[in-house]
Every structure is written in structure tokens, then in C-alpha cells.
Amino acid sequence: MSSRNSALLMFVALALPAQMPEIPLDARTAFRVVVPADSPVTLVSGDWGASKATARGGALQVDVRGVLQLKNSGTRHVRGVTLFVLAQEVTPGGKASVTLPSLDVEPGESFPIRIDLRLMRPLAAVPGALVEVSLDGVLFDDLGFYGPNRLNSRRAMTAWELEARRDRKHFLAVLGQNGPEGLRREMVSTLARLTEQPRVEMQTARLGRVTNQPVGAEQQMEFAFLHLPEAPVDLVSGFVRVAGAEARMPRIEVRNRSTRTVRSVEVGWLLKDDQGKQYYAGEMPAEINLAAGDKMELVKDAVLRFSKPIAGLSAFVSNVEFADGSLWVPQRAAVLPVSPEEQRLADLYRRKGLDAVQTELRRLR
Amino acid sequence: MSLPHPTAQQLALYAGHDLNWFHLLRIRMHLGRCEQCRSRVDCQQAAMEGLQAGALDLPEGVDWPMLAAEMKANIHLGLEAGEIVDRVPRRRFDPTGESIAWRAALVCASLAVIIGSGWYLHRARDPYFLAQRPMAEATPEGIELKAKTSALTLLAPATERLTTAEIGEGLQTRYVDQDSGQVTIQHVFSE
């Protein structure tokens, strides 16, 4: 082989990843949508036209760009839908979901759900669909629920719906008391809070049996609790092991101060970084069975890693689910995170103005 | 007192202007007083001029065509011998030939070994990779679930995106779809 040919082959080998040869995708076999026959939400169409697969060295990258048109075939208004997304190659436990909360879909009306995802997997072919999308749950305006609820979407969508009703009620009260200018101030304040929320990098995983110590000195950091007087569950004490930007093995003791058995609780985390900035980091859900007046310790063998060192942690009860299926969410408070409905209304204000927000609030009264 | 006569070699060097300044000055002083030595220097310089004038003339009786043919033959022989001798070293060391490709390949292979070793050592230090458990991670493109050889990324617009953790479960991100105006909430579950 001449030196020129050798150099050419090397150039081609190095340039292969950049060329990304496209592999044809058959949408009929690559994607599968499963909706039960008795579902109150039915599939009208599935458009995967913009999806493509490209070879990247020894791996296959699948860019899924799908839009599903669903129809409310039932008799009640749909308030939320959760789709379960399963990519068989990303196992074990590889699953995802896409949820649309704050909907108001009348019977007979159709609505779109966008599925945008990317799969990276070994190039070797695996039988079956690359991506399977199925219905996990539908929430109605009477808080009724339909679906297999494999992802516990009933609790999540009910909590978001209760928060949405709480926030719309608050904004309507502001509109009644302070007029459109008062509502404008609320929208501007919400947009500012959304902007202030830093886009932090984070990672989380289960620790399992891993006993390796994190890099750097580890210290035990106590939670500061936000006291919510009306909360049915009290946060008594809690701490987490912190090393730099990493928090692991949180332990929080809770007490049921209500008269009903609690089935699950979610504890929200507010994180303060080394520059004193506080932001909403996430929630710690726990399935429990806590009788009235009892105490127990919530323990997660999990690790949470941020891009900035952790200087402090606060916690609050973000929702409580009782044994009868009913849910409690806290009253509005400035320190609590912006709800999905508040985010939607603020975006509506930004794009279409105050009149559109007023119309929306009155429509969903 | 008179200075001793310079030697024949010193006079020859003087005639050829090959002495340093100290000896040149000393001999020049001596020549100013010594007729004998001055005549010897004159003879030396005349002989040198004669040699230089006749240097470009061919000796009488030289057969130039024959001499040229012999020189050409020797040049060709030298070139052929040089090619034979150079053939092996050229393949091995010539930086402008094929060896450049092999050198580049060697460099690439070495870099690959270094990068691969670093990657492996980095993985080995990370307890979560050691456990080979799926990990949820917020990336510039969205939220990603990474396993050993695969990844699932839920894509979301970079602006207006709020990403939070479901501690022990995975990650959540939410944004407002600019086409439909609806809030979209995505989850990846690490367990």
C-alpha cells in the first residue's frame, strides 16, 4: 500500500464519526404505541417522520422525534396524561415518562404529545421495538384516574392538579383584589423566580451495596426544616452525608400528626450553594405506611451530585398521600418552588399578554 | 644587536600572509635590514604566483574525452551503489515516504491507549460506575439515563427548562412547549 493510500485510509477512519452514515428506520417496527382498548384516551395518529438512526463508531444513535395525537374518548374532561416510555436496550430499569399536566381536554377533543428522545446503544441489532410508548395514567377533572399507574403517576398528577387549582385560585383572588395590575405583578414575579432558578448540573443514582467513600472529606450536615403549620406530617430531624458537591444517604425522621394513615410523603429539598444562593433541588419521595401519631425514619440509599459545593440544605413537606388515596399539598408560599401551572401561566403572559392569562383563569375557574 | 634569521618555514608563511600579527611585525623588521632574507621571500612569492597562474592549465598529454568517460562511469557506479545502500534505511526512516503513515498510526494508537487508560481509571474511581448501575444525569440537551453501554436522553429545550432530582429515583425536567403552550414534564428513572 502506498503512503498516499495509507494516509487516505487513516483520514477516512478518523472522519467516519463526523460523517455519521444514516441507517433507515422503519417506524412500523421501530416504535410501538400501546393504548388499552378500554382506555378513555385513544391514539389518533403517531408521526415519527423526523426520527432517524445514525451509526457512531460501534454504537447506534437513534433520534426519536414523535408526535402522538391522542383523543379524549371518554365523558369527562382530561386534566393530565402520563406516557410510559420504555427503551429496551437501556436496561436494567431503563424507563422514562412524559407527562402533560394542567390540561383541559373536553370529551371528543384531540391533543398532541411530543416525544423527543435520543437513544445510544450498541450497533448489534436487538429484536423488538426500539421504543415502546404506553399509557400509564389519565387524570380527570373530578380527580378520578385511569391507567396501570406503574410509575405512580396518579399521585404526581393529582398533586400537580391540586397545586394548579390552588395557584389559579390565588391569581383570581389577586385579580379580584388588585385588578389586572396586581396580576401583572404576580406574573412578573413568577418569571423572575423562574429566571433565578439556576440550571445546575446534577446526577443521581442508587448506592446499593457500594461502600466506596466519596472524594474529599465527608461531613454530616443537618437539614433545616421549613415549618408548614397545616402539614399533616412533621419533619422532626434529619441529616445527610455531604462531601463537596455530593450528598448521600439522606435520613429524615417524620411524624404523622394527622388522624389518618399516611401512604406516602414527598420531602422537597432546597439547596444553598457556597455563594449563598438557594434553589429548589428536588424531592425525596417515600412510600410508607405511617399510622396516625407514629414516627419513622425515611432513608434513601441514594447519591445526589451537583456542580457546586453544598453549603446548606433545607427541607419541607411538599405533599402527603393518605391511605384513602386523598392528597395534601401545602398552601402557596414564596419559599416554595414554582408549580407547573404557575410556569405555564407565566409563559402564557410572556407570549400572549395579560388578557390571555385573565381569559385562561376565568375559563378554568 | 642583530636578530637571528627567520627559518625557511617562517619566511614561507610570511610570503603567503599566513603569520599572526606578532611574528609578522618581527619578520618585517628583520627584512628591513636583511637583504638575504628579503630575496628569499621574493623567490617564495614569485613561485606562489607561478603556481596560481598555471593551476587552471591541463597538463600536457592528458586525454580529456577518456578522462570524462571514466568520471561518468564512476558517478553512475556511485549512484547505483548509493541506491542499494540507501534502500533499507529509506524505508525505515524516510519521513516523506510510507513511514509517515505508520508513525501517525503509532501516535494515534499510543494516544488511544493513554485516553483509554485514563477513562478506565476514572471509571474505576467512581463507585457508581463500579456498581454499573444506571445513573440519571442532567445534560445540556435534557435528562439522560446512562447505563453501561447505552444511554436514553429525553430532549428538552435548553431555555425555560427546570431540572430537579427525584432523589433515589431519577431526574425530572419541565418546560413549556412553545407549539402547544402546554407544560411538559419528563422523567428518567434510574431504578
Q: What DSSP letter does each residue of B129-141 carry, written as one string?
A: HHHT--EEEEETT
Name the amino acid, one letter, at A243.
Answer: A
Q: Would you state the pLDDT for residue B73? A: 67
Q: Would you state the pLDDT for residue B127? A: 46
Q: Are B164 and B172 in contact (CB under 8 A)?
A: yes
Taking only the tens place, the pLDDT of each residue in A159-170 is: 999 999 999 999
Q: Would you state the pLDDT for residue A136? A: 97
Coil, helix or strand at residue B43: helix
CA closest to A157 among chain B residues: B185
**Residues of B in Cβ contact (< 8 Å) with A300:** 167-168
CB contact (8 A) between residue A7 and residue B104 = yes
Higher pLDDT residue, A23 or A9?
A: A23
Asked whether residue A109 carries a pLDDT value surpassing 90, the answer given is yes
Higher pLDDT residue, B85 or B93?
A: B85
Distance CA A125, CA A30 (A): 11
Q: How many CB atoms lie within 10 A of CB B162?
A: 20
Distance CA A129, CA A53 (A): 13
CB contact (8 A) between residue A90 and residue B151 = yes
Q: Would you state the pLDDT for residue A17? A: 47
Q: Would you state the pLDDT for residue A13? A: 46
Q: Would you state the pLDDT for residue B101? A: 73
**How far is the alpha carbon of A117 from chain B, nearest alpha carbon, in Å?**
4
Higher pLDDT residue, B190 or A352?
A: A352
Asked whether residue A23 carries a pLDDT value surpassing 90, the answer given is no
Residue B190 binned pLDDT confidence (cut-offs 50, 70, 90): confident
Higher pLDDT residue, A94 or A258?
A: A258
Interhelix angle B8-15/B21-33, rounded to 10 degrees, is 100
**Residues of B in Cβ contact (< 8 Å) with A206:** 133, 168, 190-191
Paired sense of beta strands A278-290 and B142-146, if any: unpaired
CB contact (8 A) between residue B155 and residue A343 = no
Q: Are A204 and A302 in contact (CB under 8 A)?
A: yes
Asked whether residue B88 carries a pLDDT value surpassing 60, the answer given is no
How many Cβ pairs within 8 Å bridge chains A and B?
217
Highest mean pLDDT among B81-90, B98-107, B161-170: B161-170
Q: Would you state the pLDDT for residue A12? A: 46
ipTM above 0.85, yes or no: yes
**How far is the alpha carbon of B126 from chain A, nearest alpha carbon, in Å?**
8
Residue A140: its H or E element:
strand A131-140
Higher pLDDT residue, A160 or B133?
A: A160
Taking only the tens place, the pLDDT of each residue in B42-70 is: 877 877 776 666 555 555 566 666 667 66
Distance CA A234, CA A253 (A): 9
CB contact (8 A) between residue A116 and residue B102 = no
CB contact (8 A) between residue B155 and residue A118 = yes
**How far is the alpha carbon of B77 from chain A, nearest alpha carbon, in Å?**
29
**Residues of B in Cβ contact (< 8 Å) with A283:** 164-167
Q: What percent of chain B lies above the pLDDT cut of 90?
A: 9
**How far is the alpha carbon of B65 from chain A, nearest alpha carbon, in Å?**
44
Higher pLDDT residue, A278 or A352?
A: A352
CB contact (8 A) between residue B98 and residue A302 = no
CB contact (8 A) between residue B98 and residue A351 = no
Q: Are A357 and A345 in contact (CB under 8 A)?
A: yes
Higher pLDDT residue, B157 or A72?
A: A72
Residue A112 binned pLDDT confidence (cut-offs 50, 70, 90): very high
Identify the DSSP state of A209.
T
Q: What percent of chain A lies above the pLDDT cut of 90?
A: 64
Mean pLDDT of B105-121: 77
Distance CA A361, CA A173 (A): 11
Lowest mean pLDDT among A159-168, A325-334, B3-12, B87-96: B87-96
Q: What percent of chain B lies above the pLDDT cut of 70?
A: 64
**How far is the alpha carbon of B13 from chain A, nearest alpha carbon, in Å?**
59
Residue A181 binned pLDDT confidence (cut-offs 50, 70, 90): very high
CB contact (8 A) between residue A116 and residue B190 = no
Higher pLDDT residue, B54 or A129?
A: A129
**Residues of B in Cβ contact (< 8 Å) with A53:** none
Averaged pLDDT of chain B: 75
Residue A298: its H or E element:
strand A295-299
CB contact (8 A) between residue B168 and residue A194 = no
Q: Would you state the pLDDT for residue B3? A: 60
Q: Would you state the pLDDT for residue A8? A: 46
Nearest to B163 among A199, A210, A347 (CB): A199
CB contact (8 A) between residue A340 and residue B183 = yes
CB contact (8 A) between residue A284 and residue B167 = yes
Q: Write down all domains in chain A, each with its CATH number in brackets.
A: 18-150 (2.60.40), 159-196+342-363 (no CATH), 202-335 (2.60.40)
Q: Are B37 and B31 in contact (CB under 8 A)?
A: yes
Q: Would you state the pLDDT for residue B98? A: 61
